[in-house]
Structure 1
């Protein structure tokens, strides 16, 4: 079974990315053919710094490798290195209804967030995402709920193309991320995000000192009871979720362990757990930062492998459309 997933090169990865998506990728790569893409063409649809883009791409590549993605088991590459992504997106755009794009929830949210940066690329984002997925004849797309609508549109586009030009694309299925949604440490009613205030986002490669500071400063709730209740106690509930996912202990077990012990003691335990759990990732990243040639060679080899599949698919598409 072929899996496709990608991540934008916009800032360092945080624990929400890891628990929600990457930990699932590590399991998938063991028994499937996985294609993991750094989607830089998507990244330029919202405000970014051109001078920092190549470094951001390199940092994401290192992060992929540091957390355990294996270039022997998976294809890892940069989207813009494969020109077929952009070409297929244009071709698919000719059969995608404009109304479908305008009703996309992500489009509406992004134009609210960046009213000064409303562009055609943002509107066509789901078409490029469809091209990313369909180019590799993907069976399964692991995504969060916020991207589910885009994958459903991908299925619609594949169906429309197949009906009009003949069977060409597989209709990919959604694999929703298993991990619970991790919330901001400073605003536990809001999802943790790379664009969040720094103290609210716990990055995968934060130093032990920074981890300890962020956890100890994390917003909790009135009272001292360590109880899971997302509506009434969103702060401590978020921290319990993080502890449970990293320790493997159930939330019920944690509630019993910390009964009558107060927030400070719980936070100290969580900080120690995270420092220990994330330590190997920090060490691996440190090693890879000094091996730039090795990392770039992995991306180059990944691009070559991806290109073989991409060229084959695009050639068939162009034949079906009468372009060759």
Structure 2
């Protein structure tokens, strides 16, 4: 259950039209504790044509790896994401490059609903994170994913230092020992450079200057060490919080109550407009 708490939370914040929200307004909650998410998701699902969802890149990538095709839940998951965003009348959403297409769906749903029923939802804007996409350590043509069956492909915050070192040692590169940043030609090494730059917080060019003279084998260890140092305080805090189950449950209870307070009137407004009340 504790793992469920850490993985199944979303950030619910009252929209003020500003990207810089007051920290006191941010709450963590388990999504399933707020039924308005699934209610709005169903209403929005009724506004989406099947081909639109089938043409989404992530859907096509997922079903390509599944023996019996994808489930309906997987197909309609982007609509649930849209409900998560629109339910709180969000104006800005930080996303990675792989979620841009899903955000376009969110924007289209907001505009479509507003056109049909009146101005209800702000059309949210995407805020691209500085590192648009973290690639898999085992297949640098694909994004790093927690659901990847190859355990060496994904680095987790909760990994031990030994596990992180092993994963970077096994990272796919090429037969050239020099460290360069050429995503089109040297995807594996370039992925390591991008990760290194992101965790250290410096531009790629500066990262390359610091790694001058290193071969890829030694550079992998350098990147692993940088990731370990970056994750260490976060991992320590996670371990500390896991020992206080009561505190975690209280945080989720407070967050869920606040989320319901914000979500209920919006969901009721939508239901009334579409004729469900």
State the TM bucket, normalised to the shorter chain: 0.7 to 0.9
CA contact (8 A) 1:135 1:314 kept: yes
RMSD: 2.5
Choose the corresponding residue for 2:179, options 226, 239, 247: 226
CA contact (8 A) 2:92 2:125 kept: yes
Give per-residue Cα distances to partners, 1:242-292, cap 9 Å, x unaligned: 221222333333333333332233233223222222111121111011111
**Tell me, what secondary structure is at the counterpart of 1:267?**
helix
Question: Does the C-alpha gap of structure 1 residues 154 and 181 become closer, same or farther in structure 2, counting only changes over 3 Å?
Answer: closer
Choose the corresponding residue for 1:241, options 181, 191, 194: 194
Superposed displacement of residue 302, structure 1: 0.5
**Tell me, what secondary structure is at the counterpart of 2:68?**
helix
The alignment status of 1:132 with 2:84, answered yes or no, reads yes
The whole-number CA distance in structure 2 between the counterparts of 1:249 and 1:62 is 30
The whole-number CA distance in structure 1 between the counterparts of 2:55 and 2:222 is 45
Superposed displacement of residue 62, structure 1: 9.2
Q: Which residue is 1:38 aligned to?
A: none
The whole-number CA distance in structure 2 between the counterparts of 1:257 and 1:322 is 62
The whole-number CA distance in structure 1 between the counterparts of 2:236 and 2:9 is 12
Choose the corresponding residue for 2:160, options 182, 186, 207: 207
CA contact (8 A) 2:97 2:132 kept: no
The alignment status of 1:105 with 2:52, answered yes or no, reads no
Structure 1 gaps, min length 5:
1-53, 65-69
Q: Which residue is 1:263 aligned to?
A: 216
Q: Which residue is 1:60 aligned to?
A: 7
Question: Does the C-alpha gap of structure 1 residues 313 and 216 become closer, same or farther in structure 2, counting only changes over 3 Å?
Answer: same
The alignment status of 1:118 with 2:82, answered yes or no, reads no
The two structures have a TM-score, normalised by structure 2, of 0.85
Question: Does the C-alpha gap of structure 1 residues 308 and 99 become closer, same or farther in structure 2, counting only changes over 3 Å?
Answer: same
**Tell me, what secondary structure is at the counterpart of 1:198?**
coil
The alignment status of 1:322 with 2:266, answered yes or no, reads no
CA contact (8 A) 1:71 1:302 kept: no
Give per-residue Cα distances to partners, 1:61-117, cap 9 Å, x unaligned: 6999xxxxx974412111111111111122223333333233333333333333436
Question: Does the C-alpha gap of structure 1 residues 200 and 104 become closer, same or farther in structure 2, counting only changes over 3 Å?
Answer: closer
* Structure with larger RCO (C-alpha < 8 A, sep 6+): 1
Structure 2 gaps, min length 5:
12-21
* 1:188-207 alignment runs, 5 A limit: 188-196=140-148, 197-207=150-160
CA contact (8 A) 1:111 1:118 kept: yes
The alignment status of 1:311 with 2:264, answered yes or no, reads yes
- Report the count of equivalent residues: 266
